[in-house]
Amino acid sequence: MTKFIDKIDVTLRHSVGVILSIMTLSVTWQVILRYLFKLPNMWSEELARFLFVWLVMFGSALAIRYNRHMSIDFIKQKLPARFQLVLSVLLTVLCMIFVSFVGWQGLQLLSITSHQLSGGLRIPMAYPYMAIPVGSVLMLIFFVEYLANLLWTNKKE
């Protein structure tokens, strides 16, 4: 299972790098056309915006994998170790419920937007909205891994 999750991790890291590179090129192209040649270009700005959504979802999943999301834990640190574990498990399960809800709503958006075309790229709007359920599934996978590690580590002690 860990090897599979590690492969997802590597794929996500590479995807984030590619997305960031394409976004940079797209925005640079937009700036050159707009300010040097006075030719506005809709598709490059739209591409950067759509890729940003994918970047955020992939980055959020990776942040879960490495426990890098911002948290305020001064109250948790004052609790006994047993209650810290219970609170961590409870908060992780609540986050999983929230991410599941967001993913479900993202799936609903796909059915609504599948026939709508974007203004600049003329692609179905389902492609940018697909980032929501895909990112949610990735986040859930990493939350399950985090929860398993949390419970396994504390079970050994």
Q: Tens digits of per-residue pLDDT, 136-147?
A: 999 999 999 999
pLDDT of residue 115: 92
Span 45-60, average pLDDT: 97
The chain-wide mean pLDDT, for the chain, equals: 93
**Torsion from C-alpha of 115, 109, 58, 152, nearest 10 degrees:** -140
Q: Is the pLDDT of residue 153 over 90?
A: no
Q: Tokens in use for 134?
A: 């895909």
Structural domain including 63 reads 2-156
Total domains in the fold of the chain: 1
Q: What DSSP assignment string belongs to the chain?
A: -HHHHHHHHHHHHHHHHHHHHHHHHHHHHHHIIIIIS----HHHHHHHHHHHHHHHHHHHHHHHHTT-S----HHHHHS-HHHHHHHHHHHHHHHHHHHHHHHHHHHHHHHHHTTPBPTTT--BTHHHHTHHHHHHHHHHHHHHHHHHHHHHHHHH-
Across 62-71, average pLDDT: 93
- What is the pLDDT confidence band of residue 155, given thresholds at 50, 70 and 90? low
Count of C-beta atoms within a 10 Å radius of residue 102: 15
The share of the chain scoring above pLDDT 90, in percent, equals 83
Over its C-alpha atoms, the chain yields an Rg (Å, rounded) of: 20
pLDDT tens profile 78-122: 999 999 999 999 999 999 999 999 999 999 999 899 899 999 999
